[in-house]
Amino acid sequence: MRPHRFVTALGLLAALWAAQWATPWATPWAGRAQAADPSPTLAEIERRGVVRCGVSYNPGFAANDGAGRPVGFMVDLCRALAAAVLGKADAVEIRRLSKPQEFAAVAAGEVDVSFAQTSWTLTRDATLPIDFGPPVFHDEQGIAAWRAPDGHSPLDGGPATVCVPAATTSHWALEDLVARGGKPWTLRSFATWPDALQAFIGRECAALSADMALLAAALRTLDAPPDSLILARPPVPSREPIAPLTSNLDRQWLAVVRWTMFALFLADDAGVTGENAGFLRITGNSEVQRLLDGMPEAARRIGLRPDWAYQAIVQVGNYGEIFERNLGARSPFRLERGPNRPWTQGGLLYAPVFQ
């Protein structure tokens, strides 16, 4: 090709590229995005007027208050989702799920989303008809034990019986540890976490293993001297990224769940609270204003209200506010945030860019 023709071709390519990107939404796939079918889950939620959320009843995470109303950390995440989708945080229907029920309930559409404290694993992601949202609580495996009369832990030396909820990552980790000869323990598995907890309370086993935060919250409710219990990490550390679940048949609904959680993360990191969101909607930096404005065009494409993020934050609070009142310093459990802090503070909570 001659030099002047090469330059001309480059000029034409540049002009085409500039025309294609002349507006934020002038992309090759924009037409297909606009023509996509609406989310069947969102359509059903709009029809019935409530978001159905599955939860596991555990202290601090989900329980009934004195008036019989569901409250807790996971319940509030569901309420934030309802505020984003319907504009009403209390437009929720909370369903109590056990671990064996959870995956089937999500796949069958009995709940729109599950916040039942399930860890994201490769096997679950690859083999079940579900999708995981972003981890909303980062935990690790713990093990609680009744202190022996001599003051020592029964886990230090010889054989011990350890209770554990079945089909959980805690169960699998301990099975692997015992199988490799790591500890001379006998495992007793139970269908549900409450069953395992009751067996431990009844001294049917010397120890109980589950997620650390779950154990810490449960032990605070026991009528037992503080020095009679030991709470520690097992010999093999584990990570427990607890994430919401949705059906894998509706990716648009997954996007709604995902970005609502990210909005709570970003608000926490940026200092946007339920109290100051109205002020920062006007005076905040550019990303905060995009967060609180809801980015209406992008929101429309996934079926969200124009003020979706603002409503979630104003009505329920940012992630930190939700954590502190249910699990942290403003709750009876006083759990440390640990990895459940924004990434800018050394934690693991990280929101993609609101752009």
Query: What are the residue ranges spanned by the domains of the chain?
Result: 40-136+243-340, 139-240
Q: Residue 233 is encoded by which pair of tokens?
A: 């990490």
Q: What is the mean pLDDT of the chain?
A: 87
CA distance 246 to 41: 10
* Per-residue model confidence as pLDDT tens digits over 215-232: 888 888 887 777 788 888
Provide the pLDDT for residue 273: 98
Please state, for a pLDDT cut of 70, what percent of the chain lies above it.
89
pTM (global) more than 0.85: no
Reduce the secondary structure of 103-139 to three states and give it as a string. Answer: HHHHHCCCCCEECCCCECCHHHHHHCCEEECCCCEEE
65-74, 158-167, 228-237, 245-254: the lowest-pLDDT one: 228-237
Instruction: State the average pLDDT over residues 64-80.
Output: 96
- Tell me the residue ranges of DSSP E strands in 111-263: 113-114, 130-132, 137-146, 160-165, 185-190, 207-211, 229-232, 239-242, 245-247
CA distance 173 to 175: 5
Residue 159 to residues 40, 153, 316, Cα–Cα distance (Å) = 53, 12, 47
Provide the pLDDT for residue 36: 52
Q: Are 146 and 224 in contact (CB under 8 A)?
A: no
Closest by alpha carbon to 171, among 258, 99, 221? 99
Q: Residue 216 is encoded by which pair of tokens?
A: 């810490």
Q: Are 165 and 106 in contact (CB under 8 A)?
A: no
Provide the pLDDT for residue 15: 43
**Which CATH architecture describes the domain 40-136+243-340?**
3-Layer(aba) Sandwich (3.40)
* Per-residue model confidence as pLDDT tens digits over 299-355: 999 999 999 999 999 999 999 999 999 999 999 999 999 999 999 999 999 999 999
* Per-residue model confidence as pLDDT tens digits over 277-299: 999 999 999 999 999 998 999 99
* Per-residue model confidence as pLDDT tens digits over 9-30: 434 434 434 433 333 333 333 3
Instruction: State the average pLDDT over residues 37-65.
Output: 94
Q: Is the pLDDT of residue 90 over 60?
A: yes
Q: Give the CATH number of domain 139-240.
A: 3.40.190.10
* Per-residue model confidence as pLDDT tens digits over 94-147: 999 987 789 999 999 999 999 999 999 999 999 999 999 999 999 988 889 998
CA distance 52 to 110: 8
Provide the pLDDT for residue 177: 81
